[in-house]
Amino acid sequence: MGKAAIILVLGMAVAMSFLTMGAQERRNEAVANACQAYNINEARNLAHSGANVALNNITTNHSYQGSISATFADGSYSATCSKMPASSNSKIVAAGAYGQAAHTVQVVVEVYPKYFKSAITAKPHVNTLGTLKVDGRDYDQNENIIPNQGGLAILSTQAITRGGSSKYGGTNSLGQDFAPSTSFDPSLIEENAQFDGGFPSSPDAVVGVDDGTLKAIAQSGIGGSQYATDPNDIHIPLRGVTYLELPNNGTWNAPNFTYCHCGFDYNSFGVLVVHNANGNARLKNIRGNFYGVIIADDVDKIHGKVTGNITVIGDSPRGNCIGNGTGEVHYSSYFIMQALSGQLNNSPKIVSWWE
Structure confidence by residue, pLDDT tens digits, 167-201? 999 999 999 999 999 999 999 999 999 998 899 99
Q: 58 with 129, same domain? A: no
pLDDT for residue 106 is more than 90 = yes
Q: Taking residues 89-104, what's their average pLDDT?
A: 95
Mean pLDDT across the chain: 91
Provide the percentage of residues in the chain whose pLDDT is more than 90.
79
Contact present, 111 and 54 (Cβ < 8 Å): no
pLDDT for residue 17 is more than 70 = no
Which residues have a Cβ under 8 Å from the Cβ of 100 and sit 6 or more positions away? Answer: 36, 39
Q: 301 with 154, same domain? A: yes
Q: 96 with 175, same domain? A: no
Contact present, 241 and 225 (Cβ < 8 Å): yes
Q: What is the pLDDT of residue 242?
A: 98
Q: 128 with 201, same domain? A: yes
For 134-143, give one letter per residue: b (16+ CB within 10 A) or e: bbbbbbeeee
The whole-angstrom separation of Cα 353 and Cα 355 is 7
Q: What is the pLDDT of residue 3?
A: 63
Torsion angles phi and psi, residue 227, rounded to 5: -125, 135
pLDDT for residue 52 is more than 60 = yes
Residue 128: domain span: 118-339
Give tens-digit pLDDT for 258-306.
999 888 899 999 999 999 999 999 999 999 999 999 999 999 999 999 9
Domain count, the chain: 2
Q: 194 with 60, same domain? A: no
The whole-angstrom separation of Cα 321 and Cα 263 is 34
Q: 216 with 239, same domain? A: yes
Nearest to 219 by CA among 227, 210, 230, 211: 227
Side-chain half-sphere of 28: how many Cα atoms within 13 Å?
A: 6
Q: 102 with 166, same domain? A: no
Q: Which residues pair with 309 in a beta bridge?
A: 293
Cβ-based neighbour number of residue 33 at 10 Å? 10
343: three-class secondary structure by DSSP? helix
Q: Taking residues 213-230, what's their average pLDDT?
A: 97
Q: 106 with 134, same domain? A: no
pLDDT for residue 2 is more than 90 = no
Task: State the amino acid at position 224 in one-letter form.
Answer: G
Contact present, 289 and 256 (Cβ < 8 Å): no
Q: 69 with 137, same domain? A: no
156: three-class secondary structure by DSSP? strand
Give the confidence band of 20 by pLDDT, cuts at 50, 70, 90: low
Characterise 249 by phi-psi region: left (phi > 0), alpha (psi -120 to 50), beta (else). left
Q: 135 with 95, same domain? A: no
Q: What is the pLDDT of residue 269?
A: 98
Q: H helices then E strands: how many in the chain?
A: 4, 26
Torsion angles phi and psi, residue 300, rounded to 5: -125, 100
- More confident: 346 or 141: 141
Q: 80 with 224, same domain? A: no
Q: 102 with 20, same domain? A: yes
